[in-house]
């Protein structure tokens, strides 16, 4: 059965909001940079400048910049910002004040500041390169650099040379005093997408769509080495301030960190969900105030991801990415809201007043959270410092925030948590394994390790049956050609074995309050309601236009809600599968939780904020 879908409605009044966004933006990221004071700056379409506190990941400022620019770049110190189209504009970052604006002869295709100087270079679609005294809005130098469009420009750190790359697949080195061409670097077989000078002014690094990163000696104009570990087009690169590290990103959403002295890979970071658009290293202020060196990556998923760039292959790596998941939970008395965003600390609020309440003592950056049904405990897993960290899971007292115990033994990352209805057992699992661990609450002792429960899948979600005797484990086989293969296993805790297997992978699952049905959603954007007694699908529903990320039953079992990356929340009749309401919000929905009386539905959003939605208002608006 397919739902009779109707267009989602926008709320007549904005929903009540809990929590400021954390490293999430509303538009596609265009540039990122980190200032020496620890402020992380980002620019997104259509010209929104945001400032973030790097240690806390909190948004501290946001302002729109009036510009139609298609290219954006920060200067080396992250104090200035420029945009370009067929005109150039320069802003002061801290104030957002526009400092200069002028028209250019042709469309701009490349843009770069000179380090430590009031100079800006633009490359154009006709092959022209202009060097500007930007405070005076005057051209200091014009060079017919390439026969085709310019794809990248970069100043040497000593301010004496300019490197330009063109669609002719050539790199030219220019003397900035005379405009004389000093030499040409040739070797790329496809488009050259980026250039970066080493601080020694002798080495130049170039990224190409031919899957290579090339290192050049700009004194001899000869190649030094070919860095060819990428499997796809390399389209972004960034150099650390000390020149010891180079980051390169490819179209396969893979980032390589290189040691520039050894020309060797330090680590490979993978973000399979989205393209990395821009890169920036945190600077070292010399006083140890910043957690340097971190690498900031602006992704197409509108998230700024942070990695420890010095971790080796067994360190921070792909699985320690601060994933863009948001968890939300409401206390059993309906008075307190808990929320956990991507790689943040746990946040909580008094729902009635909207004021923050104390969360957890000494809680580091976290990646998963669950509250026990009795409201006594909160379980969290942290973003570990090593891939084999076996102390990533902890139990806290919900009322006081005091840490009760660290559950040791399970290797991170732990991404799925669920309490048994009586609150005495905690289940945990991660996307890197098919294993499920059961822990005694509150002692934190291991009750059972269920190995390879959904082999060969990764565990995506966990849910206990209302009777507390069965645990549903949802897995997806990401290596399958369709990307959708997998299954749901129901483990009987008394019998110690799997008693039911439901075909098809799932990213989220939930039991109906009466325990007769299990709802699941998969990568095919379909919702399935399983009749557990008959062991078959009772209803198959669809309508969401992007990945369904979460679902939840109302406490009385009348409705169930689904949330999606398409920024909509749908409400369904749990018996008939009829779509009874749909609201379109301004954020991707990552998690859902009803209040105990079913009057309100909370959403955990892609930008780590939470919305409070009145269920009755949804139903009334959809009539």
How confident is the model over 12-61, as pLDDT tens digits?
Answer: 788 999 987 778 887 889 999 999 888 999 999 889 999 998 877 778 89
Domain that holds residue 364: 327-621
Q: Give me the count of residues in the chain.
A: 623
> For residue 456, what pLDDT is reported?
86
> For residue 311, what pLDDT is reported?
53
Q: Find, among 91, 76, 280, 36, the residue nearest to 159 by Cα.
A: 76
Q: How far apart are CA 353 and CA 83, in angstroms?
A: 42
Q: How confident is the model at residue 559 (pLDDT cuts 50, 70, 90)?
A: very high
Contact 232, 210 (CB under 8 A): no
pTM: 0.69
Instruction: Indicate the range of 147-161, 305-319, 459-473 predicted with least confidence.
Output: 305-319
3-state secondary structure of 196: strand
> For residue 229, what pLDDT is reported?
86
Arithmetic mean of pLDDT, 474-501: 85
**415 vs 606, more confident:** 415
422 domain residue, yes or no: yes
Give the whole-number percent of the chain exceeding pLDDT 90: 66
> For residue 1, what pLDDT is reported?
44
157 domain residue, yes or no: no
Considering 18-32, 120-134, 253-267, 407-421, the range whose residues carry the highest mean pLDDT is 120-134
- Assess whether pLDDT exceeds 80 at residue 539: yes
Arithmetic mean of pLDDT, 74-93: 95
> For residue 110, what pLDDT is reported?
97
Q: pLDDT tens, 567-582?
A: 899 999 999 999 999 9
Q: How confident is the model at residue 322 (pLDDT cuts 50, 70, 90)?
A: very low
3-state secondary structure of 224: strand
331 domain residue, yes or no: yes
520 domain residue, yes or no: yes
> For residue 483, what pLDDT is reported?
47
Tokens of 44: 């997104």
418 domain residue, yes or no: yes
- Assess whether pLDDT exceeds 50 at residue 76: yes
DSSP symbol at 320:
G
What is the overall mean pLDDT for the chain? Answer: 88
- Assess whether pLDDT exceeds 80 at residue 521: yes
Q: How confident is the model at residue 389 (pLDDT cuts 50, 70, 90)?
A: low
Q: How far apart are CA 533 and CA 512, in angstroms?
A: 13
> For residue 384, what pLDDT is reported?
60
Q: How confident is the model at residue 623 (pLDDT cuts 50, 70, 90)?
A: low
CA angle 208, 28, 194 (to 5 degrees): 20
Q: pLDDT tens, 93-144?
A: 999 999 999 999 899 999 999 999 999 999 999 999 999 999 999 999 999 9
CATH number reported for the structural domain that contains residue 373 in this entry: 2.130.10.10
Distance of CA 296 to the CA centre of its chain: 11
442 domain residue, yes or no: yes
- Strands 192-197 and 181-186, by their bridges, are unpaired
**261 vs 8, more confident:** 261
> For residue 312, what pLDDT is reported?
35
Residues 6+ apart with CB under 8 A from 312: 266, 267
Domain count, the chain: 1
- Assess whether pLDDT exceeds 50 at residue 465: yes
- Assess whether pLDDT exceeds 80 at residue 2: no
Arithmetic mean of pLDDT, 372-382: 93
> For residue 181, what pLDDT is reported?
97
- Assess whether pLDDT exceeds 70 at residue 286: no
Q: How far apart are CA 90 and CA 69, in angstroms?
A: 11
> For residue 619, what pLDDT is reported?
93
Arithmetic mean of pLDDT, 447-456: 92
Report the Cα–Cα distance between both ends of the chain, in Å, rounded. 22
3-state secondary structure of 319: helix
> For residue 444, what pLDDT is reported?
95
410 domain residue, yes or no: yes
Note if the bond before 583 is cis, omega within 30 degrees.
Answer: no
- Assess whether pLDDT exceeds 70 at residue 323: no
35 domain residue, yes or no: no
């Amino acid at each position: 059965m397919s739902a009779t879908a109707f267009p989602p409605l926008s709320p007549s009044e904005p929903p009540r909001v809990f929590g400021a966004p954390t490293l999430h933006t509303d538009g596609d990221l265009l540039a990122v940079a980190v200032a020496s004071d620890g402020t992380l700056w980002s620019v997104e379409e259509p010209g929104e400048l945001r400032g973030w506190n790097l240690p806390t990941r909190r948004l501290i400022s946001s302002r729109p910049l009036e510009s139609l620019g298609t290219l954006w770049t920060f200067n080396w110190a992250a104090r200035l910002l420029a945009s370009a189209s067929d005109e150039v504009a320069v802003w002061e970052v801290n104030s957002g004040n526009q400092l200069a604006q002028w028209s250019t002869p042709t469309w701009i295709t490349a843009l770069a500041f000179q380090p430590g100087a009031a100079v800006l270079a633009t490359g154009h679609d006709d092959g022209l390169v202009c060097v500007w005294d930007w405070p005076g809005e005057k051209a200091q130098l014009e060079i017919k650099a390439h026969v085709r469009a310019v794809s990248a420009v970069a100043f040497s750190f000593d301010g004496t040379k300019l490197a330009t790359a063109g669609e002719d697949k050539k790199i030219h080195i220019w003397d900035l005093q005379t405009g004389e061409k000093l030499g040409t670097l040739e070797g790329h077989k496809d488009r050259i997408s980026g250039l970066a000078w080493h601080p020694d002014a002798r080495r130049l690094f170039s990224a190409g769509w031919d899957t290579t990163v090339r290192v050049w000696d700009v004194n001899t104009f000869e190649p030094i080495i070919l860095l060819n570990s990428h499997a796809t087009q390399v389209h972004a690169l960034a150099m650390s301030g000390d020149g010891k590290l180079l980051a390169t990103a490819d179209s396969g959403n893979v980032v390589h960190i290189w040691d520039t002295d050894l020309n060797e890979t330090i680590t490979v970071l993978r973000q399979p969900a989205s393209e990395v658009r821009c890169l920036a290293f945190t600077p070292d202020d010399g006083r140890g105030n910043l957690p340097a060196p971190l690498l900031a990556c602006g992704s197409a998923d509108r998230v700024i991801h942070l990695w420890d760039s010095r971790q080796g292959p067994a360190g921070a790596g792909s699985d320690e990415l601060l994933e863009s998941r948001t968890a939300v939970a409401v206390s059993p008395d309906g008075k307190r809201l808990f929320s956990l965003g991507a790689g943040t600390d746990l946040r909580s609020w008094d729902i009635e007043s909207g004021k923050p309440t104390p969360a957890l003592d000494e809680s580091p950056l976290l990646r998963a959270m669950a509250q026990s049904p009795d409201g006594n405990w909160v379980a969290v897993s942290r973003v570990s410092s090593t891939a084999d960290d076996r102390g990533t899971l902890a139990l806290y007292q919900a009322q006081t925030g005091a840490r009760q115990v660290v559950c040791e033994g399970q290797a991170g990352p732990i991404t799925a948590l669920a309490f048994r209805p009586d609150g005495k057992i905690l289940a945990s699992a991660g996307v890197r394994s098919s294993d499920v661990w059961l822990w005694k609450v509150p002692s934190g002792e291991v009750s059972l390790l269920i190995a390879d429960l959904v082999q060969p899948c990764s565990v995506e979600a966990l849910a206990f049956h209302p009777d507390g005797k069965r645990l549903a484990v949802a897995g997806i086989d990401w290596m399958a050609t369709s990307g959708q293969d997998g299954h749901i296993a129901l483990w009987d805790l008394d019998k110690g074995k799997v008693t039911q297997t439901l075909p098809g992978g799932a990213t989220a699952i939930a039991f109906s309050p009466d325990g007769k049905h299990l709802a699941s959603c998969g990568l095919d954007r379909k919702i399935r309601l399983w009749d557990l007694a008959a062991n078959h699908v009772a209803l198959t529903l669809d309508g969401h236009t992007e990945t369904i990320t979460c679902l939840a039953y109302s406490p009385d079992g009348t409705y169930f809600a689904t949330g999606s990356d398409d920024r909509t929340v749908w409400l369904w009749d749990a018996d008939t599968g009829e779509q009874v309401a749909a609201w379109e919000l301004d954020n991707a929905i990552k998690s859902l939780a009803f209040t105990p009386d079913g009057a309100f539905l909370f959403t955990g959003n892609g930008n780590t904020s939470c919305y409070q939605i009145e269920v009755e208002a949804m139903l009334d608006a959809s009539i």
